[in-house]
């Protein structure tokens, strides 16, 4: 229930940060303005005694987020990939949230397996280890199938995780409502829609049958991606709260010392993970949307292994082209074109000045070029980007949230692997290749042919469809409908008679 009782939940959130000692660390990490810092302290300090105590053996930020619950942990996982935004100290603390949270017992996991698969775990697995990784939603056990002897990873949801997430998300909805109510200027950010999007993503993540299906689809789409491995899902041994996949041996992405010791080229790995994400997002429109260090490994052969497919992103072809043109414009420093694309896609209200917007984009892009990545303050850059979106009335695009979030995470992962990485230089060949194939004359011909094919399939029905449409119009305006009928019906009959091959031939001759 999204009622006032959630005020207690929000008060306790601030109180928990204060009690665990995480409040100052977080405020410092985000360079919080003095006025906002004072307000935060005033609201939190008197209620510190109400805050959750957490595990005193954990660092402050990790202690606070784990005490508050899984939805807060998810947020911390994203921040853990961006030391350039939150600082090295906080990023290192938060990295524990990726796969080193306190586990639940092996006995509970085996009982969940029995409840879900309808047979005792010992009748399915000859071996079933203690937890080898534990995150916000589930934990993983190393096991071996009796039937085939194959070594597998068994993922099991945490007990009561569904209700815990529901409680957190309800509080987030209430917070979004308060923000929209008391801060009208924030409504362009659509806080409630953002939480609704997050809610939908989480619901999908809590059904491991969907994750197994996502793993299968992702593996099929990335078969030709060199140096990239997706473990195979065992659908027969997967249900809503249990998923079984082949075991993939490798070094965790977060263990850079072990990666160095194994002789891997971290620069090459950092560049590859960024290019793989861009290639999958642009070419396939389907990408891993939770690509932090805890969900990636490096195999002995130097391949990147991805797992945990609970959050996957999809973007339609039109959005991919818009995204690619924006990236391409930044790469070429063509800020006018970047501005035009924003206006064409409706991301910026039409009544704003396009030249001023292009100038603002130049102020964002220019500091990045020709500068070592370690010299760029991503915190200041993101702060300025926020100012730009507010100045030009840009609203949050919920269809882009996962893409933008993942881009931030993947860039952070690549920087962790190689801090001096030049993201624009690495992205250029992928974006240029996509632009060459999907934007321009070649793409126009392909789109026209596809349109002609659709018209051809519906050709015999076109006359009736047009006549039905015109008849409906006639009920509103009889005189106008008659004139349209006389002019449009022959065109419909002509298109229907021409057929697919005729339309294609006509398009080719015109081009």
Same domain, 490 and 477: yes
Same domain, 120 and 241: yes
- Residue 368: φ, ψ to 5°: -80, -35
Is 23 a domain residue?
A: yes
E strand or H helix that includes residue 156? strand 151-157
DSSP secondary structure of 367-389: TTTTS-GGG--HHHHHHHHHHHH
Same domain, 426 and 357: yes
Q: Average pLDDT for residues 490-506, to the nearest whole number?
A: 32
DSSP secondary structure of 451-496: HHHHHHHTGGGHHHHHHHHHHHHHTT-HHHHHHHHHHHHHHHHHHH
In sequence order, the β-bridge partners of residue 313 are 287
Confidence of residue 86 (pLDDT cuts 50, 70, 90): low
Higher pLDDT, 216 or 163: 216
pLDDT of residue 263: 94
Same domain, 328 and 425: yes
Is 13 a domain residue?
A: yes
What span, in angstroms and rounded, lies between the C-alpha atoms of 231 and 384?
40
Higher pLDDT, 50 or 374: 50
Both tokens assigned to 111? 């009982």
Same domain, 242 and 349: no
Same domain, 40 and 123: no
Contact indicator for 152, 247 with CB cutoff of 8 Å: yes
pLDDT of residue 273: 94
Both tokens assigned to 384? 């300025």
Question: 438, 463, 479: which is the final residue of a domain?
Answer: 438
Question: 377, 412, 438: which is the final residue of a domain?
Answer: 438
Q: Look at residue 2 and tell me whether its pLDDT is greater than 60.
A: no
Contact indicator for 287, 277 with CB cutoff of 8 Å: yes
Q: How many domains does the chain have?
A: 4
Residue with tokens 């005020």: 7
Same domain, 210 and 267: no
Is 1 a domain residue?
A: no
Same domain, 272 and 235: no
Same domain, 89 and 215: no
pLDDT of residue 50: 78
Q: Give the three-class secondary structure for 399.
A: helix
pLDDT of residue 453: 65
E strand or H helix that includes residue 229? strand 228-229
Percentage of residues in the chain having pLDDT higher than 90? 30
Same domain, 334 and 348: yes
- pLDDT, tens only, 20-52: 888 877 777 666 667 667 767 776 777 777 788
Same domain, 348 and 429: yes
* Residue 507, phi-psi category: left (phi > 0), alpha (psi -120 to 50), beta (remainder): alpha
List the alpha helices (DSSP H) in 345-461.
Answer: 354-365, 378-391, 401-417, 423-438, 441-457
Is 55 a domain residue?
A: yes
Give, in order, the Cα–Cα distances in Å from 463 to each of 479, 485, 489, 493: 20, 10, 6, 6
- pLDDT, tens only, 344-373: 888 888 899 999 999 988 887 777 665 555
Question: 230, 247, 264: which is the final residue of a domain?
Answer: 247
Dihedral (C-alpha) 373, 376, 379, 383: value to the nearest 10 degrees? -120
- pLDDT, tens only, 211-253: 999 999 999 999 999 999 999 999 999 999 999 999 999 999 9
Confidence of residue 499 (pLDDT cuts 50, 70, 90): very low
Which structural domain, as residue segments, surrounds residue 55?
6-99
- pLDDT, tens only, 434-485: 888 887 666 666 666 666 666 666 666 767 767 777 777 676 665 544 444 4
The residues annotated with a catalytic role in the active site are 290
Is 483 a domain residue?
A: yes
Is 45 a domain residue?
A: yes
In sequence order, the β-bridge partners of residue 157 are 138
Same domain, 276 and 313: yes
């Amino acid at each position: 229930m999204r009622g006032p009782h959630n005020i207690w939940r929000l008060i306790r959130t601030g109180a928990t940060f204060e009690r665990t000692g995480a409040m100052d660390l977080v405020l410092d990490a985000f360079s919080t303005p003095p006025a906002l810092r004072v307000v935060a302290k005033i609201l939190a300090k008197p209620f510190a005694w109400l805050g959750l105590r957490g595990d005193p053996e954990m660092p402050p930020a990790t202690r606070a987020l784990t005490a508050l619950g899984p939805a807060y942990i998810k947020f911390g996982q994203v921040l853990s990939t961006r030391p350039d935004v939150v600082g090295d100290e906080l990023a290192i603390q938060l990295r524990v949230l990726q796969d080193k949270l306190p586990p639940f017992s092996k006995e509970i996991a085996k009982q969940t397996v029995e409840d879900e698969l309808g047979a005792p775990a010992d009748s399915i697995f000859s071996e079933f280890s203690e937890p080898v990784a534990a995150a916000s939603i589930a934990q993983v056990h190393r096991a071996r199938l009796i039937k085939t002897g194959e070594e597998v990873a068994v993922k099991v949801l945490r007990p009561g995780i569904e209700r815990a997430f529901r409680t957190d998300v309800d509080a987030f909805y209430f917070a979004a409502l308060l923000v929209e109510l008391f801060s009208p200027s924030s409504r362009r950010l659509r806080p409630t829609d953002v939480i609704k999007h997050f809610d939908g993503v989480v619901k999908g993540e809590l059904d491991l049958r969907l994750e197994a299906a996502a793993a299968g689809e992702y593996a099929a789409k990335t078969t030709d991606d060199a140096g990239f491995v997706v473990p195979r899902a065992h659908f027969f041994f997967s249900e809503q709260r249990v998923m079984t996949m082949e075991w993939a041996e490798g070094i965790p992405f977060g263990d850079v010392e072990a990666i160095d010791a194994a002789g891997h080229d971290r620069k090459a790995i950092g560049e590859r993970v960024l290019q793989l994400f861009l290639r999958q997002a642009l070419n396939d429109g389907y990408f891993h949307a939770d690509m932090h260090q805890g969900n990636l490994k490096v195999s002995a052969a130097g391949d990147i292994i991805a797992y945990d497919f609970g959050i996957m992103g999809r973007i339609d072809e039109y959005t991919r082209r818009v995204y690619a043109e924006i990236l391409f414009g930044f790469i070429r420093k063509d800020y006018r074109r970047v501005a035009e694309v924003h206006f064409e896609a409706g991301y910026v209200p039409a009544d704003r000045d396009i030249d001023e917007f292009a100038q603002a984009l130049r102020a964002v892009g220019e500091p990045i070029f020709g500068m070592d990545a370690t010299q760029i303050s991503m915190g200041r850059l993101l702060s300025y980007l926020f100012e730009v979106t507010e100045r030009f009335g840009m609203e949050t695009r919920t269809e882009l949230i996962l893409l933008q979030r993942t881009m931030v995470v993947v860039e952070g992962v690549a920087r962790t692997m190689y801090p001096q990485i030049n993201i624009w230089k690495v992205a250029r060949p992928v974006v240029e290749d996509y632009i060459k194939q999907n934007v321009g004359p070649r793409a126009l011909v392909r789109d026209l042919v596809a349109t002609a094919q659709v018209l051809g399939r519906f050709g015999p029905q076109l006359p009736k469809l047009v006549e039905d449409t015109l008849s409906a119009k006639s009920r509103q305006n009889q005189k106008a409908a008659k004139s349209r009928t006389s002019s449009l019906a022959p065109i419909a009959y002509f298109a229907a008679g021409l057929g697919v091959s005729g339309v294609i031939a006509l398009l080719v001759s015109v081009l």
